[in-house]
Amino acid sequence: MSIFNRYFRFGNSVKLNSNISVSPLLLEAAKSDIPDVFNKLQASPNGLTQEQAEQRLEEHGPNVVAQEKQHGWIHLLSKAVINPLVILLTILAIVSFLTGDIRAAVVVAAMVVLGVTLRFVQEYRADTAAAKLKEMINVTATVIRDGKPREVKLEELVPGDLVKLAAGDMIPADVRLISSKDLFITQASLTGESLPVEKSEVNEKNETRQALELKNICFLGTSVESGTATAVIITTGLKTYLGTMSGAIVTQQVETSFDKGINKFTWLMIRYMLVMVPIVFLVNGLTKHDWREAFFFAMAVAVGLTPEMLPMIVTVCLSKGAIAMSKKKVIMKRLHSIQNFGAMDILCTDKTGTLTLDRVIIERHCDVVKNEDDDVLSLAYLNSYFQTGLKNVLDRAILQHKEVHEELNMPEYSKIDEIPFDFSRRIMSVVVEMPDDTHKIISKGAPEEIFKRCTGFELEGQIYPLDQVLINDLRQEYEDLHADGFRVLALAYKKMERKSAYSKEDETGLILRGYLAFLDPP
């Protein structure tokens, strides 16, 4: 379900509340023809020139949304000082000094200074380390500038820029699609829906369609699941849909339970002092009739009631925890967060990555009866080599075989078209022009999906029909590879009639060629 509940007329924004909105320019672009979109943006299908991009960057500002501010040392120091317990101890140290109790004043002041210094140093170092980590992340997009594709940092993108999108790319701004092929976008970050949605460049005719459901619009913060596209940037930075959310994204840090506990304890001590110190002062003064001595005695009681060592002990214990975490390569930006970790009984978290070395290798490349076959590896290499977009670990393992590149003499081959991977088909295909000028579709993917599209199989140079009697035997071959702990892909091909564009419908009548078995050791 979309987060939008109604539209306003053009010229206003579509709003759920005053903070979250979609630019009217984006809504207009969705309904406009592609030439009209370029005219309104004063852009062209060849992209902007570098000079135009620099002028627009100065006009519109960097393509960044609000993010957590990097605080200076003054802010961190003030945050360490402005603490109820620290303030209370500071007041008592001043009172002790003014009343002549120099020893007590020095002890209390020393505890305050040491506690504040330790917390400040720990948090300043953590902030600096986190800032250095962020600087290492350099996200770019493929942009057409001066008629040529180049990699440009996301913050340097401007309205009117033409961007190329492929599987694995993040949408760099709010964009209008110009062309696309089998494009699926993951919008979970904005809608919460885990399944990808299909997008295309077709003009939006449905006036009642909600903003996030527009088929030709993609939003900053989403990503390309599969397919390829070219898009023109409509809005950047704070004018994007995600940018209007930025006020809700960057919020004040929540007080930890530890902070609340310290504050409660401090105010308990203050209330106790407000009751006890006047009583002690009055009782002592009325019984001994020496009000000056009674005042000093009451101040001594106030100092005695206060645990001067508490800030120091707390900071040292938390710092010890932060140091232990740092040895495990974990940065604790806020020292008091250590207590939250210690208070956990069970931590539930999503596992990312695998429990393996993540160094996948091709262990076997074999025909349909598991005999080693170099032709299977050659076809797989052509498929992975000509694939655009995100190359997964299996593709990278195939491309590690540099000797195949030389053996095939790759300049003799050229890519005609591509049918990108998607999670419903679980197949990726490329159409290649072979040295004999024929077109061949080469498909690799999940064995059960490849089998559905095959009508025959090749063995020792001969092609045999794939009838029902043989299917179970052939299936058993790749299931045996699975049982041995391999990740298995099936490979198939078909010679095609020459044409300019191919689609999923062409992935039929394939010839099963063999299997690729990958190993990723634990």
One-letter-per-residue 3-state SS of 255-310 = CCHHHHHHHHHHHHHHHHHHHHHHHHHHHHHHHHCCHHHHHHHHHHHHHHHCCCCH
d(CA 303, CA 307): 8
d(CA 427, CA 231): 25
- In DSSP terms, which residues pair with 233 in a beta bridge? 175
d(CA 164, CA 477): 41
- SS3 of the chain: helix, strand, coil, percent, to 5: 45, 20, 35
Are the C-beta atoms of 151 and 142 separated by less than 8 Å? yes
Alpha-carbon torsion, ordered 305, 308, 309, 310, to 10 deg? 70
Active-site residue 350, yes or no? yes
Are the C-beta atoms of 412 and 467 separated by less than 8 Å? no
Are the C-beta atoms of 441 and 497 separated by less than 8 Å? no
Q: Is the Cα dihedral 357, 358, 363, 364 positive or negative? A: positive
Q: Which of 33, 345, 350, 467 is catalytic?
A: 350
Nearest to 512 by CA among 472, 452, 469: 452
Query: Which amino acid belongs to residue 313?
Result: I
d(CA 452, CA 450): 5
Q: 14: helix, coil or strand?
A: strand
- In DSSP terms, which residues pair with 361 in a beta bridge? 519
DSSP 163: E
Are the C-beta atoms of 328 and 345 separated by less than 8 Å? no
d(CA 371, CA 326): 51
What's the burial of 435, exposed, middle or buried (CB within 10 Å: 0-12/13-18/19+)? exposed
d(CA 401, CA 377): 9
Are the C-beta atoms of 388 and 495 separated by less than 8 Å? no
d(CA 172, CA 230): 12
Give the position of tokens 């009639």.
497
Beta carbons within 8 Å of 424's beta carbon, 6+ residues apart: none
d(CA 242, CA 134): 20
Beta carbons within 8 Å of 483's beta carbon, 6+ residues apart: none
The residues annotated with a catalytic role in the active site are: 350
